[in-house]
């Protein structure tokens, strides 16, 4: 398997992890707006209410939200590219390749899931990768 084919197959998972991190970052910044609970470790002193933090939070989250939107669009394109490439090979080989690469399944798990011997799984897997590589190369010419 070439690096380019591997990148095409794994790009949606990489982008999904980046999207998840970006969402968590936005949530952490937005959590600062919510009122804090009662703190018993502080002195009981009358204080003035905090100033409105919503504009500052929005200023911090706006660029992150734009990045999130950009990543979501890239994710959709990556999924469409991988799907169109996998549609050009045998469905069983595509399922085995996805389970092995993106599902991080070991050969033992694949044997139980697909009911093939390890040797036959290896044949289907390598044949599918060769077919994917050929389909990828042909797609550059058309």
pLDDT at 111 over 90: yes
Q: Would the pLDDT of 35 be above 80?
A: no
Question: What is the rounded CA–CA span in Å between residue 72 and residue 66?
Answer: 10
Give the tens place of pLDDT for each residue, 113-141: 999 999 999 999 999 999 999 998 888 77
Comparison of pLDDT for 2 and 67, the residue scoring more: 67
Rounded average pLDDT over 91-115? 92
142 pLDDT exceeds 70? no
Report the pLDDT value the prediction gives residue 83, as an integer from 0 to 100.
93
pLDDT of residue 13: 95
Residue range 51-81, pLDDT digits in tens: 566 777 778 888 999 999 999 999 999 999 9
The pLDDT mean for the chain works out to 87
Residue 94 to residues 9, 63, 88, 90, 130, Cα–Cα distance (Å): 11, 37, 9, 6, 11
Q: State whether the Cα torsion 60-62-67-69 is positive or negative.
A: positive
């Amino acid at each position: 398997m070439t690096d380019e084919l591997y990148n095409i197959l794994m790009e949606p998972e990489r982008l999904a992890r980046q999207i998840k991190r970006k969402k968590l970052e936005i949530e952490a910044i937005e959590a600062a707006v919510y009122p804090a609970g009662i703190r018993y470790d502080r002195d009981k002193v009358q204080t003035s209410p905090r100033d409105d933090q919503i504009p500052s939070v929005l200023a911090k989250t706006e660029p992150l939200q734009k990045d999130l939107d950009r990543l979501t669009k890239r994710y959709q394109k990556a999924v469409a590219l991988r799907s169109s490439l996998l549609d050009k090979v045998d469905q069983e080989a595509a399922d085995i390749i996805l389970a092995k690469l993106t599902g991080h399944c070991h050969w033992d798990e694949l044997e139980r899931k697909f009911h093939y011997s390890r040797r036959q799984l290896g044949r289907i897997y390598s044949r599918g990768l060769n077919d994917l590589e050929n389909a990828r190369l042909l797609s550059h010419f058309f």
